[in-house]
Chains A and B, each alone.
Chain A
Amino acid sequence: MTYAYLFKYIIIGDTGVGKSCLLLQFTDKRFQPVHDLTIGVEFGARMVNIDGKQIKLQIWDTAGQESFRSITRSYYRGAAGALLVYDITRRETFNHLTSWLEDARQHSSSNMVIMLIGNKSDLESRRDVKREEGEAFAREHGLIFMETSAKTACNVEEAFINTAKEIYRKIQQGLFDVHNEANGIKIGPQQCISTSVGPSASQRSSSEIGSNSGCC
């Protein structure tokens, strides 16, 4: 399937915060409670529709273990977006955000859009990090913020799509050099400008969703 743009994302954060589940929920629309630890890197991809444009998201799901940090550091290169994930039921994963953010900022292109995600919002009773704390951290560091649940799928689409919208906005503002692949953006093989007539165009693309559709 052709696309207008391809954006590369990277998902980062401590082990067990739900990175792989978020990816699976986004690409396959399912939740698999028990699955293997990510070692190294795994990939996912999905087409989304932003402003009537087909955009392919290429998502790199990285291992959270400290021992893999030196290996995965180069994976920031050429990422247009990063999802920085913590677990709202485990404060230490929130405490580690600064170190993740430093890593990301140091090894990525300066234009990379970072979305902060407080995951497992379905576990309200075990909440250990207040939503306001996440919001404050995001504000302080210039990130976008959402709480999600990879289990109920709440806000998962939105997290990925809002990041894409922000990248798209930056492209339109001329902040991204789309011809430099090191920025994590590729122009599609053939720009498909036609309105979505073919059945394939609407097959997997998501409709636009307001950024505040509140299910959480």
Chain B
Amino acid sequence: GGGCGGSDLPLRFPYGRPEFLGLSQDEVECSADHIARPILILKETRRLPWATGYAEVINAGKSTHNEDQASCEVLTVKKKAGAITSTPNRNSTKRRSSLPNGEGLQLKENAESEGVSCHYWSLFDGHAGSGAAVVASRLLQHHITEQLQDIVEILKNSAVLPPTCLGEEPETTPANSRTLTRAASLRSGVGAPGSPSTPPTRFFTEKKIPHECLVIGALESAFKEMDLQIERERSSYNISGGCTALIVVCLLGKLYVANAGDSRAIIIRNGEIIPMSSEFTPETERQRLQYLAFMQPHLLGNEFTHLEFPRRVQRKELGKKMLYRDFNMTGWAYKTIEDDDLKFPLIYGEGKKARVMATIGVTRGLGDHDLKVHDSNIYIKPFLSSAPEVRVYDLSKYEHGADDVLILATDGLWDVLSNEEVAEAITQFLPNCDPDDPHRYTLAAQDLVMRARGVLKDRGWRISNDRLGSGDDISVYVIPLIHGNKLS
């Protein structure tokens, strides 16, 4: 890798396997066997929230360590004691309690001291070192808690839309009518024709921001803060490489799946597949990257072209017309080849081999602040984004059965198994386990890892139909959604 951050510096956290596996140093050492590739699962004595299943296996030798990381816990989100006045002030609370619905508010006041519990699952896939993934697996949850703390009281108050401006008296119009107007307009949906009886009291239109959008915003901010922390701390610690991040947060009856990178989440419900994430790779993000390079050509260090051609352009082709595409295109057109087009393309390679500036195959994630194009002074980081895509799933909208699950896995799984194959494996496996066996989801996760790793034959790891097994690190969560039924 290009990054060679100060290796004299101490590690931020020692390398290890996910804390919830509870492995000793000796066990970590044993598990790092690239020849036998033991599948690690949760020990029987250990339980994850919701009886979540987990299994992992190390790569077949591409790196010394297993560079995937994971963490899972129940966070308590509580308004910060003595928080800076970022929540509606006392006055407005008092005034509101004189509303007809005073009882409900009384309840809320009491609940205010209690935290909201928030389930958290995370999966990171490191590259060019394990440092960033280890740090993110230890710290991202704190950033999430911190972001949620600021809005927890607003989220709990689900009957009232989030205030547009904190600390501002919401009563620019009489309190009652305004609240009603909002609720009514929510019910009637967007674009309902304004009834003539509604008083046109507003001076300008105001967007209605639903609660879940504040959670999405909090997660996006948390990813950004995590990335900034890694950037700051790399002057005092050795935080090597970068990582993708896929996390799930369950808050107030909804699942939020935030993904930055090429891991994947799918829900399997009644045998049906519901994708919960999309991957961010040089191919899927081509236009964003090309546009950035077009706007800021200095980022290419005079060595790359932001244009894409179906193959490398040769000098002897100067002056000829060749197919190309620019940031504004999904289709192709012909252009006359110029000198500049001979430079190496910003995005080159197909599928799993596609790279940004011949260096990295994943375009969102955390870390990588020191990553440079090999043998050059060109930084990759400006092209990488720490922003996750967040999808929301309302658990209350469906009565889930014991075999309805959310699968999270790193690309080691998805490189060799399709969504359909994973769904098929799960729908074969789970119904054959005792529904009361708390270990069934871990066994299902183990089954998936096994299907992706394969078995050792004379010519390497093989999976079904004699296909090549995945030689990558593989990590899988199987999260039963039936526990969501009890919420809300």
Residues of A with Cβ closer than 8 Å to B?
Answer: 8, 36-37, 39-45, 58, 60, 70-71, 73-79, 107, 181-182
Complex Cα spacing A45 to B29, Å: 10
In the assembled complex, the CB of B195 is this many whole angstroms from the nearest CB of chain A, namely: 63
Q: Which residues from chain B sit less than 8 Å from chain A, CB to CB?
A: 26-27, 29-31, 33, 35-41, 43-45, 439, 442-443, 446, 450, 455-456
Cα of A69 to Cα of B17 in the assembled complex, Å = 25
B210 to chain A minimum Cβ distance, whole angstroms, is 43
Given A73-B455, A74-B455, A181-B35, A45:B41 Cβ within 8 A: no
For the A-B complex with A36-B44, A39-B442, A70-B455 known, give 4 more contacts whose Cβ atoms are closer than 8 Å: A36-B45, A39-B44, A42-B43, A182-B35
Which of the residues A37, A43, A71, A75 comes within 8 Å of B27, measured between beta carbons? A43
Contact across chains for A40 and B44 when beta carbons are under 8 A apart: no
Tell me what chain B mostly uses at the interface: helix, strand, loop, or mixed: mixed
Interface on chain A toward B: helix, strand, loop, or mixed SS? mixed
B residues less than 8 Å from A75 (CB atoms): 36, 38
The residue from A37, A41, A45, A77 contacting B35, defined by CB atoms under 8 A apart: A77
Is B35 a contact of A71 with CB atoms below 8 Å? Answer: no
Q: Which residues of B contact A36 (CB under 8 A)?
A: 43-45
CB pair A77–B456 under 8 Å, yes or no, is yes
Q: Contacts A71-B450, A74-B456; is A40 near B39 (CB within 8 Å)?
A: yes
Q: A58–B418 Cα gap in the complex (Å)?
A: 36
A selection of 14 A-B contacts at a CB cut-off of 8 Å is A36-B45, A39-B439, A39-B442, A39-B446, A40-B38, A40-B41, A42-B27, A43-B30, A45-B26, A60-B30, A60-B36, A74-B456, A76-B36, A181-B35
Q: Which listed residue (B26, B27, B41, B456) contacts A39, Cβ 8 A?
A: B41
| The residue from B36, B442, B450 contacting A78, defined by CB atoms under 8 A apart | B36
Residues of A within 8 A of B446 (CB): 39-40, 71
Complex Cα–Cα for A141 and B39 (A): 30
Contacts of A39 in B (CB 8 A): 41, 44, 439, 442-443, 446
Q: Give complex CA distance A73, B35 in Å.
A: 12
Q: Which chain A residues border B443 with CB–CB below 8 Å? A: 39
Report the minimal beta-carbon distance from B57 to chain A, rounded to whole angstroms. Answer: 10
Which A residue sits closest to B42, measured CB to CB?
A39
A79: B residues at CB distance < 8 A? 36
In the bound complex, residues from chain B placing their C-beta under 8 Å from that of A73 are 455-456
CA distance A164 to B46 in the complex (A): 33
Cβ–Cβ contact B456 & A58, under 8 A: no
Q: For residue B37, which residues in chain A have a CB less than 8 angstroms away from its CB?
A: 74
The complex places the Cα of A150 from the Cα of B96 at a distance, in Å, of 70
Q: Complex: how many Å from CA A29 to CA B33? A: 26
Q: Are B26 and A71 in contact (CB under 8 A)?
A: no
Chain B residue with minimal CB distance to A46? B26
Nearest opposing residue in chain A for B28, CB measure: A43
Q: Bound state CA distance, A113 and B43, in angstroms? A: 29
Taking a contact as CB atoms under 8 Å apart, the answer to whether B456 and A44 are in contact is no
Q: How far is the CB of A70 from chain B (nearest CB, A)?
A: 6
Q: Decide: A40 and B40 in contact? CB cutoff 8 A.
A: yes
Within the assembled complex, what's the spacing in Å between the Cα atoms of A39 and B30? 16
Residues of B within 8 A of A8 (CB): 33
Please measure, in the bound complex, the distance between the C-alpha atom of A76 and the C-alpha atom of B35, giving whole angstroms: 10
User: In the complex, what residue of chain B is closest to A181 when comparing beta carbons?
Assistant: B35
* Cα–Cα, bound, A71→B453 (Å): 10
Known: A36-B45, A70-B455. A41 touches B38 (CB 8 A): yes
